[in-house]
Structure formats: structure tokens, C-alpha cells
Amino acid sequence: MEIILASKSPRRNEILKKAGYEFKIIESSFNESTTLSSPIETCKYFALEKAKDVFNGLQNKENVLVLGADTIVYLDGKILGKPKNEEDAKKMLQTLSGKAHYVYTGYAIVYKDKIINDYDQTEVIFNTLNEEIINEYVKTGSPLDKAGAYGIQDDFNLVKEIKGSLNNVIGLPIEKINIELNKIIKKGL
């Protein structure tokens, strides 16, 4: 069975590799321009559309499984996507400073005529960040390609506590995905 990750995210790639999977990467061309009524529905929808986009583009769909994922940061009723620029990243980090928020990662597994589409949720509590830390962090460029303008794995003391899966916050809830992939592998795709 061939596994395809529908993401160029180095973080998702690393999590899937650490879990012991061999896979190919084919980036989805799905446009994430719409949001739905809830963060859960939005991240599940984006993950599914990414996985379907890659699966539908394959020549040979036999013995192939496509995994798509999408991560959303949610605070005070708002989805914080990837920042548009450095100023936007600074504003997001100031907004998150000292507060608790939720990270949702939707995932979708598409194979044959089957679809698994689910999500995981983790609560993240930020430290209070001063302007100096925010500016230093934004200068690294790291926040610019991440939902909510931060990577929990970065070497900055941003996060005080997490309640739930660290891998989910990084971008791939491998604990839940492992269960699904093992069921599929045991059934023999």
C-alpha cells in the first residue's frame, strides 16, 4: 500500500516519519479561501478537500491512500489563519499573549471509495509575551507560515501549558491517525 501525504509541511512530514510510515508527498492545490461556520467543520473540510484533490489527480488509485490535514488556531470566536505579513504576525501574537486558545487539526484519509474525516482538539495556554520577545520571534520568519503565527516546536518560550496532543498543535494528530491507518492496513486496504 502506498501512502501519500497531501501536504508539503515539513512538520507533518516529520511526525509521519517518526511514526514509522513510508510515504510520498504530493501537495494539494486546493484553495483554502472559504471558512465554514465552525473551526471544526472548517479544518475537517479543508483536510478532506486537500486529500480528495490529490487522490482525484492520481493516475493509479489502486492500493493508494491519501492523507490530508489542516490546522486552525481558534481564539475568542475567531479563526487565526496564517499571518499575511510580519505586522499581522505581531498582532496575532499580542492577541494570544497570556490567553488560552484551541488548536484544531482536521484530517482526512481517502482510499478506494472510502473516506475517513475527523479532527483533534488541544487547548494551548500562552505565556504573557512582551514586545521584545514578539519582535525577536517574528524576525526569525518562522511565524509567517503557521496558523496563529506560531510554532509550538520553535525555540521561544511562548507556551505555558497544553492540554491534549502536542502533535496536534504541531499539525498532525498522529495518535488518532495511527489508529485509523492500522485499521486500514489490517483490512488490507
Hunting for cell 492500522 — which residue is that? 182
70, 118, 120, 155: the active-site residue: 70
| CA neighbours closer than 13 Å in the CB half-sphere of residue 189 | 14
Does the active-site annotation cover 70? Answer: yes
State the Cα–Cα distance between residues 98 and 80, nearest whole angstrom: 16
- Annotated catalytic residues are 70
